[in-house]
Structure 1
Amino acid sequence: MKNFNQKWLYLFVLSLIWGSSFILIKKALIGLTPYQLGALRTIITGLFLFVVGFKSLKNIQKSDWKWVVVSGFLGSFIPAFLFAIAETEIDSAVASMLNSLTPLNTILFGAAIFKLTSTKRQVLGVVIGFLGTSMLILKGADLNPHQNYLYAGFVLLATVCYAINVNVIKRYLQHVKPLAIATGNYAAIFFPAMIILCFSGFFSDATFSHPDFIMSMVYITTLAFFGTALAKVLFNRLIQMSTAVFASSVTYIITIVALFWGVLDGESFSIIQVLACVIILIGVYLSQKRV
């Protein structure tokens, strides 16, 4: 019972944190380029984790490091840039809706790569989920003709990365402590992020003189600490105490929280888009049913 209550508490807290991440990305992009944002998010998160978790690195066995590195790139590094690039063209609320495909991709890649069996109901859930995704993208492109909805593909690619990462952690890193995994992830991706930042034009007068530079740094620091560093440890723990699919279902509440922030920020979306989101979530729900 204690473990049951804990996993739902972790799920709820993560949903609030990650649901707020999409609007923070949108706000940070006002004064930063997507490559600067992705690199800074990785670097700042790494610094936070090194302070609290550097000693935990010694607990990672040599045979586990390859999976820690894979997890770092798939679960953190690549998505940080993909979401930032996507939100230069699509609204934060739409990005959060598309992010809810993560559990469906977890099922697909769990079966395709990790040889996990799927039921007919789960397959039906996947089909329904992708139907909702198609509706969401097509209606969004119609509602916002000034936005390039091909950029939704960056979010879809990020959900694939997340899905594979969840399966990697569940399959190969179940025995490693969550803080060690998170710190190891960022030990692997810290210097690649530094290289990208150096070539992104961040250290130029144009960046520092931008009127929204300071606020963008506040947004990205908040995102790095809460939305990445803290959430990363909590999510790794959630995966270990539950199942890969349950952990990825954090996207249920994420969507609601992100929609709330989107409304407050004046983003526009139609009833059909909300319906499409509901269809996606129905697909996610069915995909988690084993019988």
Structure 2
Amino acid sequence: MSKQLKSDIVLTGVTMVWGATFIIVKNAIQTLPVYNFLFIRFLLAFSLLAIIFYKKLKTIDKKTLAVASVIGTMLFLGYAFQTMGLKYTTASKSGFITGFSVVLVPILEAVLLKRKPSKPAILGIVLAFIGLILLTTNIDLSINIGDFLTLLCAFAFGMQIVLIAKYASTLDTYLLATIQIGVVAVLSGIVSLIFEKPFIPTSLDVWSAIIITGVFATAFAYVAQNTMQAYTTATHTALIFALEPVFAAIAAFLIAGEVMSFRAIIGGIFMFAGIVLSELPEKEVSK
């Protein structure tokens, strides 16, 4: 099996896990404060990775620590905005809007990595923006606060994808992922202490959500992403991540019975088409 194929399979598995956890997180934060939840989730993930990679952590250098801290801050902002947004919007809509980060990747690459977006990428951005409007606005064109917060999360996640693409091939990806997760845990804990009344949950359902998201959607997922992006491009990674809103909508329907409106479904189709088109090679589109 080639490294590219292995990368595709692993990243698709990661995307499926992320999509499925939207509804799990939404249910958990009905009981546990948002940043309290994030703190316990990421602390669990960091503790697990620290035990596994403790020998590597002893040899970490300043560059890896600095880069991982910046990426970890982007990851924190992404999850903070996403989790807070889930309080005010549906899991399926959150999944689709989070998918908009895939369209933002070519723009961020142009600014940060000096790579201009292709014509298909520009057209894809336009289609995705139309879909975003259909998906997130009401008849009076007002935007739900949850949708806006989730859009900010999409920007942060887009930054995280591009930064990993820039550094994954030159730094230890296991350390990169572990420190990122640790930064999210620390920032979540600080914010929780300031704005919330954190507590240790006693509900079995909440702990199930913490374990599922902490182990599979955090520890496993981010080590896999950081490692696999060393063998592929940000564009290819972004295309695979475009499947996340599809998995989110399916999980929301199967677990919670959430049904999107016709207008939202059309918006989602526009968005997904824009996401996929934005990542196609220019020559394929011109045929």
Residue matched to 2:275 = 284
Change (3 A) 1:63 1:261: closer
Q: SS where residue 117 of structure 2 aligns?
A: coil
| Partner Cα separation in structure 2 for residue 289 and residue 59 of structure 1 | 40
2:167 to 159, 167, 172: 172
Q: Within 5 A, what are the aligned runs for 1:144-159? A: 149-159=144-154
Mapped contact 2:78–2:153 kept (Cα < 8 A): yes
Residue matched to 1:95 = 94
Q: SS where residue 249 of structure 1 aligns?
A: helix
Using the TM superposition, give the Cα deviation of residue 174 of structure 1 relative to its aligned residue in structure 2, in angstroms: 2.0
Q: Within 5 A, what are the aligned runs for 1:8-23? A: 8-23=8-23
Matched residue type, 1:273: A
| Partner Cα separation in structure 2 for residue 269 and residue 214 of structure 1 | 29
Residue matched to 1:239 = 229
Show CA shifts across 1:68-101 (max 9, x none). 11011112x2222211110111011110011111
Q: CA RMSD in A?
A: 2.2
1:266 aligns with 2:257: yes
| Partner Cα separation in structure 2 for residue 129 and residue 103 of structure 1 | 10
| Partner Cα separation in structure 1 for residue 91 and residue 184 of structure 2 | 25
Using the TM superposition, give the Cα deviation of residue 22 of structure 1 relative to its aligned residue in structure 2, in angstroms: 0.2
Extract unaligned runs of 5+ from structure 2. Answer: 283-287
1:115 aligns with 2:114: yes
Show CA shifts across 1:103-129 (max 9, x none). 111111111222112112211111111
Extract unaligned runs of 5+ from structure 1. Answer: none
Mapped contact 1:102–1:251 kept (Cα < 8 A): no
Using the TM superposition, give the Cα deviation of residue 241 of structure 1 relative to its aligned residue in structure 2, in angstroms: 1.0
Change (3 A) 1:15 1:190: closer
| Partner Cα separation in structure 1 for residue 214 and residue 239 of structure 2 | 22
Structure 1 window deviating more from structure 2 (194-203 vs 61-70): it is 194-203
Mapped contact 1:124–1:283 kept (Cα < 8 A): yes
Residue matched to 1:137 = 136
Show CA shifts across 1:48-68 (max 9, x none). 221212322245432232211
1:188 aligns with 2:179: no
Q: SS where residue 228 of structure 2 aligns?
A: helix
Q: Sequence identity, in percent? A: 19
Mapped contact 1:99–1:156 kept (Cα < 8 A): yes
Show CA shifts across 1:31-57 (max 9, x none). 112222222222222212212123222
Give me the TM-score of the superposition, normalised by structure 2: 0.89
Change (3 A) 1:208 1:132: closer
| Partner Cα separation in structure 2 for residue 194 and residue 99 of structure 1 | 23
Residue matched to 1:66 = 66
Using the TM superposition, give the Cα deviation of residue 20 of structure 1 relative to its aligned residue in structure 2, in angstroms: 0.9
Matched residue type, 1:202: P
Structure 1 window deviating more from structure 2 (250-259 vs 86-95): it is 250-259
Matched residue type, 2:280: K
| Partner Cα separation in structure 1 for residue 191 and residue 215 of structure 2 | 20
Q: SS where residue 167 of structure 1 aligns?
A: helix
Mapped contact 1:54–1:183 kept (Cα < 8 A): no
| Partner Cα separation in structure 1 for residue 51 and residue 212 of structure 2 | 16
Residue matched to 1:248 = 238
Matched residue type, 1:224: G
Q: Within 5 A, what are the aligned runs for 1:34-45? A: 34-45=34-45
Mapped contact 1:89–1:151 kept (Cα < 8 A): yes
| Partner Cα separation in structure 2 for residue 282 and residue 208 of structure 1 | 41
1:221 aligns with 2:211: yes
Structure 1 window deviating more from structure 2 (27-36 vs 189-198): it is 189-198
Mapped contact 1:37–1:81 kept (Cα < 8 A): no
